[in-house]
Amino acid sequence: MPLWSNGFWPAGAVELKVSRGLVAAVGSIHVLAGGLLIWVVDGWLTVAALLILALSLAWQTWQLLGSARVTQLQRMAEDQWRYITASGRRYDGQTLENAFVHPRVIILSLRQGWRRRHVVLLQDSLTQDNHRRLRVLLRWG
Please check whether residue 114 is in contact with residue 53, taking contact to mean a CB–CB distance below 8 angstroms: no
Which range has the worst mean pLDDT, 2-6, 25-29, 56-60, 134-138? 2-6
Q: How far is residue 28's CA from residue 53's CA, in Å, rounded to a whole number? A: 12
Integer CA distances (angstroms), 70 to 16, 30, 91, in order: 7, 22, 10
Looking at every residue in the chain, the average pLDDT score rounds to: 86
pTM above 0.75, yes or no: yes
pLDDT score at 7: 57
Please check the confidence at residue 112 and state whether its pLDDT lies above 90: no
Domain boundaries, the chain: 13-141
Please check the confidence at residue 87 and state whether its pLDDT lies above 50: yes
Please check the confidence at residue 66 and state whether its pLDDT lies above 70: yes
Q: How far is residue 61's CA from residue 68's CA, in Å, rounded to a whole number? A: 10
